[in-house]
Amino acid sequence: MIKQIRTIALILVALVLSIKAFTQPSDSLIVIGQRHTIHSAILKENRTYSVYLPESYQRNSGKSYVVAYVLDGERIKFLEVAGIAQSMHSAMNLKLQIPELILVSIENIDRTRDFTPTNSTNYLDRDDIAAFKTSGKATNFMQFIEKELMPEINKNYRTVPQSMIIGHSAGGLFGLHCLLENPDLFSYYLLIDPAWFWDRNYIGKRGKEILAKKKDLKARIFIALANNLQDDKRHYEWGQEFYQLLKENKSPELYADLKYFDDEKHLTVTVPATYYGLRSIFRPFEIDLNEVTKDPGVLANYSATMKKELFLDTKPDERFVNTIGYVALHDRQLPDIAVTIFEINTKNYPKSLNVWDSLADAYLAKGYKDKARKCYETILKLSPTNTQAKKKLEALNK
């Protein structure tokens, strides 16, 4: 157990060190987010949450983002998820496994009350768990998120309609409750070792009632199962049963994935499950460097794939595609491929000065001076005072 705790601590330290600040007030202070408080009329109390904004948020005012609502969102969980999410989206390092996310990390007051769908003091074969007496108010908490917190986030930040929930244990149970009772609330569900035991597998029984009839679910779901077999094999069995219900469901826009972590326990599974869960849910988002440098045409169908599989209106990331273009141009000596990649980027981002400048570089590598000249002329139309483009155009006109 001590070894496991040390391992988790080292992982968390590495994640925190990997976080790049989106705002840096001084050389010695790194800020990754901000805490806020909202009064909930539904819950009749103040609730605290932290917000992490992705690296591009401040410099890209025209971009909107998926919001991930993180349960059990105290400081450690906030740092954990922020580190993982940021490390999985790094255009400069050619890692673009997931879209950039806004994180809203909701702190607890009474997690048993908020995350459980029924009032019960049962745990497996016991019916006297005093800590569960306040249970059964998950629907209230769901209404708080839908009617109070989400409108506040959508008002203050640039968001897309699709959002995510990340929940572990009872938080995963709450995510399943949302899926069954209010399936349009979230588009993406990252459910880490949910509390299947709750009220004698209530969620499994409820799932059978709803999923047998539901044919219009539109969601991407990842379920992580930890190795709890020494505690009680029913945890594993109930998780597998619910996953089969999802796989048998007839909804054409429902995607479900499950991963069993045989070397992780209930309390140690969160870090690897968060990584694999984000990777699974957003798998269609990833652009493979090698595939693009072999056939840039794979970028042509990207937006259609995003719409169909992730329900998102989005284009290939400008900076990432630009970086791939330079890899093709310089590292792999593929100027024709680089030209095609940069041309696609100018079609997707015609107002970006950078992509036109990059395309000019590729044209010059091919000896296409007239085409490069037109790129600089386009830059000057967009930005008449651009001195760099003026100098490059003057040099070409000599």
pLDDT (0 to 100) of residue 343: 97
Condensed to tens digits (0 to 9), the pLDDT of residues 250-265 reads 999 999 999 999 999 9
pLDDT at residue 7 above 70? no
In terms of DSSP bridges, do strands 65-70 and 159-168 run parallel, antiparallel, or are they unpaired?
A: parallel
pTM: 0.89
Please give the Cα distance from 304 to 310 (Å, whole number). Answer: 10
**How long, in residues, is the chain?**
398
| Backbone angles phi and psi of 284, in degrees to 5 | -65, -20
pLDDT at residue 1 above 60? no
Token code pair at residue 234: 């029913």
Give CATH for domain 2-285. Answer: 3.40.50.1820
DSSP 69-87: EESS-SHHHHHHHHHHHHH
pLDDT (0 to 100) of residue 26: 53
Token code pair at residue 297: 């045409």
pLDDT at residue 191 above 60? yes
- Cβ neighbours of 115 (radius 10 Å): 27
Give CATH for domain 314-397. Answer: 1.25.40.10
Query: CATH 3.40.50.1820 residue ranges in the chain?
Result: 2-285
Residue type, 183: P
pLDDT (0 to 100) of residue 19: 44
Please give the Cα distance from 168 to 170 (Å, whole number). Answer: 6
pLDDT (0 to 100) of residue 27: 62
Please give the Cα distance from 327 to 348 (Å, whole number). Answer: 19
Please give the Cα distance from 35 to 106 (Å, whole number). Answer: 10
pLDDT (0 to 100) of residue 95: 84
Condensed to tens digits (0 to 9), the pLDDT of residues 57-108 reads 998 888 999 999 999 999 999 999 999 999 999 877 778 899 999 999 999 9
Query: CATH 1.25.40.10 residue ranges in the chain?
Result: 314-397
pLDDT band at 29 (very low <50, low <70, confident <90, very high): confident
Nearest one of 347, 380, 383, 351 to 393, comparing CA atoms: 380
Exposed / middle / buried, residue 81 (Cβ in 10 Å: 0-12, 13-18, 19+)? buried
Q: Name the average pLDDT for the chain.
A: 92
Please give the Cα distance from 263 to 228 (Å, whole number). Answer: 10
Lowest mean pLDDT among 7-16, 92-101, 121-130, 186-195: 7-16
